[in-house]
Structure formats: C-alpha cells, structure tokens
Amino acid sequence: MTLNVAFDAPADNWNKYSVALARACDRAGLSVDLRRDHPPDQVDYLIYTPRGGPMLDFSKFNRLRAVLSLWAGVEHIVVNDTLRVPLTRMVDSGMREGMVEWVCAHVLRYHLDIDRNITSQSGIWDPQIPPLARNRQVGFLGLGALGQACASAVAALNFNVSGWSQSQKSIANVTFYGRDSLADLLKTCEILVLLLPLTEGTENIVNAQTLAQLPTGARILNPGRGALIDDIALLAALNSGHIAHATLDVFRTEPLPADDPYWAHPNVTVTPHIASETRPETAAQMVAENIRRFETGQDPLFLVDRDTGY
Ligand code: NDP
C-alpha cells in the first residue's frame, strides 16, 4: 500500500529534504507518495515544522496517523489542541553531533579564556595559566538526547561534569543531581549549559533566584530555548558581574531584534540559533524509521509526551 506523506515545512526545506526522504523511505521498504500538496483528508503522515502565523488545524487531517516534527523543540506544536495523533520530535545523529561540537567549543573557550588571548594582543607578557579541565565544574540542566551526548563529550575532555533532569540518570563520569537538588548543582557550576525543552516547568528556570545560586564569575551557555532565561534577571546579573559571561544561541524573539541589549552587551555572545540543526540526510532516515515503526506497530522513536510537553 502506498502511504501519502505530506511535507509541511518552509519551501527551501523541500529542496533539501525531498530527495533524502524518498531515498530513506525506499531503503526502509516503504512505498510513499511524498508531496507538499496532498489534500489534508488524504494524508497518512505529516512531516511538519511550524512557520509562525496561525496554528495549523490538524482536525482537517482526518486519516492522519502521526505528525513527525523536523525540530527537536516542539513547544509550538504540543499546545495545539487539534492535534490528536502521536507526535514525534526530531533527534538525528547530525543534530546530536552538531550540538556536541557547539557545546564543547564554547566550554573550551570559557575554560581556556581564549578571548583574553585573542582580544588582548597588548605587547604585555602576562601568562595566566588555566586550571586543568579536571578542576573545572561544568553543569548541565537537561540530560535528554542532546544533554546526555554533550555531558558525556565534555566529561570525555576530563571536565568535572554534573547534570540535572526530571528522572534519575546514570551516565559515566557525570554526577547526577535529582529534581529537588537544583540549588546544590548550581552552586558547583563554573560553566552552566542549558539543554532543557521549553515547557511550563522550565520557563524562566534561570531567574534572579537561581542565578544567585551560581558561584560568582559563572558563565552560561544557552543552546536550549530563549525563554528558559528571565532576560532581565540575566542582564542584571551580568551588569553586577555576578555572571561573568553568557553565550546565547536562542531567544524569546528570533531573529533577535537589532536593538536587543544582548547584542551590545560586552559580556554576551549572540549566536543566531546555529548551535545545531536537523541534517536532511540523517533526519530523513529518522522519519522513515518512524513511519516504518508506526506501520509495523512498534514504538516510535522520540515520541512526545503531550502531558509533560516534551
Ligand atoms: P529531551 O527531551 O531529550 O531532553 C530534555 C531533558 O530535560 C530531559 O533530561 C528531561 O528530563 C529534562 N527536563 C525536562 N523538563 C524538566 C524539568 N521540569 N525539570 C528537570 N528536568 C527537565 O530534549 P533534547 O535533549 O533532545 O533537546 C533539548 C532542547 O534543546 C530541545 O527541547 C530544544 O529546545 C533544544 N534544541 C536547540 C537547538 C539549537 O540549535 N539551539 C537544536 C536542537 C534542540 P527527563 O530525562 O527526566 O525526561
């Protein structure tokens, strides 16, 4: 039987994905009619990313079996009450690798104080020897698909790594802090990495109170979601010097407006949501594998829990 698979994502994605998706479905033994313009009531599977504007009315898709998000973060989809079928989010190997590279690079930048050497070629010989990684504390909020991969990679560089998540985790060389021990974790973090999804429980998790629990001079990396941070509280902590620096990849409003204070702040680095990206070749394999799983009654990969919102 041929499955009707609709691709509802920005037009330039279609050029990147259509060939990879067709190939991956073929390899998975699936017969699919992949198009951008299937009528809603003919669609079996919907490959989807929100494009802003009004929410999609999923109730028009009356034979839909599942929605397959091309994004890892699904905060814009889980709130859509018309979605009644399973939703999977995207974690492909390319996205995982990209995030590991971004996090390791920025952790090393902070650890080795690379900026100091790049920006102060002053002619003054002033050696400042950094500690070894084993003496540097890096903490992760979120130990999911991406958080675990990044925490393990940073631990493999010899950093002293700890992490926090909703449920208990056992990760080699990563000290786990349970749900009620956030303050205990924060007080150890010289570098804090945010890899939480945006949900009701995580919005503004970095606020005046939690920032105060970090040691003076802590640095923050946020490749998770902008609204994890109370921006006013972070700017105040940066201005007071309590937080030494923040590297922010994600923001409440994207693109970050030109007059946003983060752009001009001397102790903030803005990166334009490039920490990681769904890669068509590996993402197409994930999509095809999940369609195969749905069709054969197996549990899909990265199924979103509508109750927790991630
Ligand atoms: P996962 O859903 O796999 O992991 C989320 C982690 O957060 C889990 O460890 C989960 O705990 C934990 N968590 C969620 N809610 C809470 C809470 N209230 N208290 C404590 N812990 C909590 O997500 P991923 O690792 O795949 O991705 C993380 C986020 O990264 C995405 O949601 C997305 O927003 C962002 N992202 C950003 C990209 C970029 O380019 N900047 C690219 C891709 C993703 P538990 O394990 O117990 O469930």
144-159 confidence digits (pLDDT tens): 999 999 999 999 999 9
Per-residue pLDDT, 122: 87
Residues 176 and 60 in one domain: no
Mean pLDDT of the chain: 97
Residues 166 and 152 in one domain: yes
Ligand 1 atom with least separation from CA of 199: 15
Residues 43 and 180 in one domain: no
| Domain-located, residue 130 | yes
| Domain-located, residue 305 | no
**Does residue 119 register a pLDDT over 90?**
no
Instruction: Confirm or reject: Cβ of 199 under 6 Å from ligand 1.
Output: yes
The catalytic position among 38, 89, 219, 225 is: 225
Output the domain CATH number for residue 29: 3.40.50.720
Residues 179 and 232 in one domain: yes
What is the Å distance from ligand 1's center to 1 Cα?
36
Number of domains in the chain: 2
| Domain-located, residue 164 | yes
Residues 112 and 250 in one domain: yes
- Distance separating alpha carbons of residues 75 and 199, to the nearest angstrom: 7
Sheet (strand 32-35) strand order: 32-35, 3-8, 45-48, 66-69, 87-88
Per-residue pLDDT, 142: 98
Residues 263 and 283 in one domain: no
Q: At 4, give phi and psi (nearest 5°).
A: -90, 115
Nearest to 45 by CA among 77, 69, 75, 15: 69
136 is catalytic: no
203-219 burial: b if 16+ Cβ within 10 Å, else e: bebbbeebbeebeeebb
Mutation probe of ligand 1 site: the residue of 90, 101, 165 with most atoms within 8 A of C-beta = 165
- The answer to whether the bond into 255 is cis (omega within 30° of 0) is yes
Instruction: Confirm or reject: Cβ of 280 under 6 Å from ligand 1.
Output: no
> Is-contact 253 273, C-beta < 8 A?
no
Residues 59 and 117 in one domain: no
The catalytic position among 65, 76, 273, 292 is: 273
38 is catalytic: no
pLDDT (tens digit, 9 = 90+) per residue, 233-257?
A: 999 999 999 999 999 999 999 999 9
**Does residue 56 register a pLDDT over 90?**
yes
**Does residue 45 register a pLDDT over 90?**
yes
**Does residue 52 register a pLDDT over 90?**
no
What is the number of residues in the chain?
Answer: 310
pLDDT (tens digit, 9 = 90+) per residue, 27-38?
A: 999 999 999 999
Q: What's the whole-number mean pLDDT along residues 195-212?
A: 98
**Does residue 57 register a pLDDT over 90?**
yes
The CA angle 261-265-271, to the nearest 5 degrees, is: 85
What does pTM read for this prediction?
0.96
Residues 184 and 199 in one domain: yes
| Domain-located, residue 304 | no
What is the Å distance from ligand 1's center to 78 Cα?
14
Residues 29 and 143 in one domain: no
| Domain-located, residue 301 | no
Per-residue pLDDT, 132: 98
| Domain-located, residue 302 | no
pLDDT (tens digit, 9 = 90+) per residue, 253-275?
A: 999 999 999 999 999 999 999 99
Residue range(s) defining the domain that contains residue 45: 3-92+278-296
Q: What's the whole-number mean pLDDT along residues 204-211?
A: 98
Residues 136 and 82 in one domain: no
The CA angle 17-22-28, to the nearest 5 degrees, is: 120
| Domain-located, residue 115 | yes
Per-residue pLDDT, 115: 95
| Domain-located, residue 306 | no
Residues 170 and 34 in one domain: no
Residues 243 and 209 in one domain: yes
Per-residue pLDDT, 104: 99
